[in-house]
Structure 1
Amino acid sequence: MRRVGSVQQKIPCVFLTEVKEQQSRKRDCQQFQVVATENVNPVALEADVDCALATEKLDGTCCYVTLYKGRAHLWARLDRKANKQAEKRFRKHQRSPHSGFTWNVEEDFKTVPETWIPAHRVKHHNSLPVPDEHGHIPGWVPVEKDNKQYCWHASVVDCDGRAALVLGPCAEDEDVLEVAAVQLADLLEQTLELIGTNVNGNPYGLGSKQQPVHCLVSHGSVPIRNPPPVDFRQLCSWFQESPESRVEGIVWHCTDGTLVKVHRHHLGLRWPDGETSLAERAVVVRVGEYNNSKDLFSFFSVLNGRRFSRLQDVKFAL
């Protein structure tokens, strides 16, 4: 598979969007919906989206592998957000966009750990990162084993911090998934999605409260088989009728590196809506030998070589 784009910024919708004053289907606290129009986004047209690689949009939390203290390391997504007063001013400006508005980055934004770094392509002014059109500064923090906030991120990295549990298509048969221990050095500068029991309501049905299961999936690694054309009506029909459409959405990886997406919620469709395509796929475990008490690597190691008819059937003996 050709090299795919790294997810560093918020990905625009493949269609132009509009805001409707209705309760969001995606976020309970959001009193508006961002919905797709039938017009293809010029950004997608300029990037020749019709020739792009269509891949499954995964429902988890974004991660990044880059250097930390001289070694390949897993980083968690942490967008720097405005404090309450600045957020209130910004939302007022959004309702009346002709009113003047200027960010004071040093005073308007919440503090972040000293190890925080801004995401790629974040603009800077006077050496300070500038917020995007949503009022956020996308960024990353290194995952530390003793930070409970990122305990599920840490669970997919081995005790030496050199390998991660990665789910992706088998090299021999792309219809079958495999869980493997992959060296972080081989994932440098890639972004991945952390999915599992305690992430975003676990739409893929992985593990259980007694035995949580989490893994990383490289962005762009799960292609959509027989994707529909980038046409509003045909995409709506595909999401409602195709047996392969039980996905959160589609991300198109264009040859120039541009990424565009469509989410079910953009089309007014539910997510999750029954069994998911990913959870229904067969999977084989190829993790190798690990004997570090009760960590996730050791549990997978016991299943090494086992094949399951469905991803959600992967269970550990307690």
Structure 2
Amino acid sequence: MRRLGTVQQKIPCVFLTEVKEEQSRKRDGQKFQVVATGSVNPAALEADVDRALATEKLDGTCCYVTVYKGQPYLWARLDRKPNKQAEKRFKKHQYSHRSCNGFIWNVEEDFKMVPETWIAAHRVQHHDGHPVPDEHGHIPGWVPVEKDNKQYCWHCSVVDYEVGAALVLGPDADDEDLLEITAVPLADLMEQTLELIGTNINGNPYGLGSKKQPIHCLVSHGSVRIRDPPPVDFQQLCSWFQESPEGRVEGIVWHCSDGTLVKVHRHHLGVMWPEKETCFGDRSVVIRVDSAAEFYSSKDLFRSFSRLNGRRLSRLQDIQFDP
């Protein structure tokens, strides 16, 4: 089986990129955007991207499972970012040099505070005992999702630490065209990264749940494969995203055999997202949440899914809970 990388750092684009001074199509208020050139990233070529496993890039928020308080825990992504003064200095340097190279950070003074439980992501470089910011001026990291933490309430909804399980959405083991929602032991997800998607995440492009009945799930990175992906070619990828029924996805992440990850987002190619109908939201799904169901709280998401155990729906976005 091809080795799948975990998402600990920002994934580079499969193409070389350039910055254009125009309103971002991805982030409101950002007056520039990063776009792909027609040249394939040398790092992708070196990692043999043409033979890599192509998977769907899902539109959610990144999570990580590792130990906290002696047991497997879900961690939320929290990047340390510069304070306002440092951000102004950084942007001024970028503007005058057309690059972030050569900018010097004072990590102790330039960055916003983070909780004491915060840890730096894997492969973050350190200097004199301090983590070093990446090219974007961020220090990628994680914080544990503690029970009943209002800031991470949607993260909390997909884990049950008493049972030691997480609600995971992914392809059925026997039928890759079918999705399934299961309660997976957190111990089985150790050191994996996953994407939290659902009602209150990134505008809910997959149509999961509603404000009255919010639905969220975790999806393991690399689990949703793209069959017959287009070649790594600028024009062919543009056409695939715009014209192919299978191209109604946010992007592609290639998992190379040496563990290298590279991606392309629709916005890199000037193609809009989200689509009104997405491939993922249109897929059939079966609910298989029955293990330890008697232990779940009567109000929580696990209990709601356990009541639908065995139910098959023609589309992911058709999931509804009985009142």
CA deviations 1:273-305 (Å, max 9, x no partner) are 210000000000001124411100000000000
> Within 5 A, what are the aligned runs for 1:160-179?
160=162, 162-179=164-181
SS of the counterpart of 2:184?
A: strand
Q: Which residue of 2 aligns with 1:115?
A: 117
Superposition deviation, residue 96 in structure 1: 2.1
* Letter aligned with residue 80 of structure 2: R
Identity across the alignment (%): 78
- Tell whether 2:202 aligns with 1:200: yes
Distance in 2, matches of 1:188 and 1:18, equals 36
Aligned counterpart, 2:92? 92
For residue 3 of structure 1, report the CA deviation from its aligned partner: 3.4
Matched, 1:25 2:30: no
**Structure 1: runs of 5 or more not aligned:** none
Residue 285 of structure 2, aligned match among 283, 289, 296: 283
Q: What's the CA shift for 1:159?
A: 5.0
> Which residue is equivalent to 1:292?
297
**Structure 1 residues 191, 296: CA separation in 2 closer, same or farther (over 3 Å shift)?**
same
Distance 1:256 1:212, change over 3 A: same
1:223 to 203, 222, 225: 225
Equivalent residue of 2:194, what SS?
strand
Which 10-residue stretch deviates more, 154-163 or 25-34?
154-163
2:315 to 307, 310, 313: 310
Q: Which residue of 2 aligns with 1:12?
A: 12
C-alpha separation in 1, matches of 2:161 and 2:190: 19
* Matches of 1:177 and 1:315, distance apart in 2: 16
- State the partner residue of 1:158: 160
Structure 1 distance, partners of 2:276, 2:209, is 17
Q: Which residue of 2 aligns with 1:58?
A: 58
Deviation at 1:247, TM superposition (A): 0.3
Indicate the residue corresponding to 1:141 in structure 2.
143
CA-CA distance at 1:262 after TM superposition: 0.3
The question of whether the paired residues in 2 share the 8 Å contact of 1:166 and 1:218 is answered with: yes
Residue segments in structure 2 that go unaligned for 5+ positions in a row: none
Question: Match of 1:96, SS?
Answer: helix
**CA distance in structure 1 between the aligned counterparts of 2:108 and 2:46, rounded to whole angstroms:** 36
Q: Separation in 1 of the partners of 2:164 and 2:273?
A: 35
Look up the SS of the partner of 1:194 in the other structure: strand
Count of residue pairs the alignment pairs up:
318
Letter in 2 for 1:78: L
**CA contact 2:14–2:263 (8 Å) conserved in 1:** yes
Using the size of structure 1 for normalisation, the TM-score is 0.98
**Structure 2 equivalent of residue 37 of structure 1:** 37
3-state SS in 2 of match to 1:195: strand
Q: Name the counterpart of 1:71.
A: 71
SS at match of 1:304: coil
Cα distance 1:75–1:100, how it changes in 2: closer, same or farther (>3 A)?
closer
Decide which moves more: 245-254 or 89-98: 89-98
CA RMSD of aligned residues (A): 1.2
Deviation per residue, 1:129-162 (Å, 9 max, x gap)? 0100100000000001132110000000025161
C-alpha deviations, 1:44-93, integer Å up to 9, x for none? 00100001000000000000000111111100000000000001001111
Is this contact kept in 1: 2:3–2:259, CA < 8 A?
no
The answer on whether the counterparts of 1:53 and 1:254 sit within 8 Å (CA) in structure 2 is yes
Asked if 1 retains the 8 angstrom alpha-carbon contact of 2:59 and 2:205, the reply is yes
Is 1:248 matched with 2:253?
A: no
Report the 3-state secondary structure (helix = DSSP H, G, I; strand = E; otherwise coil) of the residue aligned with 2:317: helix
Normalised by the length of structure 2, the TM-score is 0.96
Give 1:2 shift.
3.3
- In 2, are the aligned partners of 1:168 and 1:178 still within 8 Å (CA)? yes
The one of 118, 131, 134 aligned to 1:132: 134
| Segment of structure 1 superposing worse, 201-210 or 284-293 | 284-293
CA distance in 1, matches of 2:20, 2:272: 17
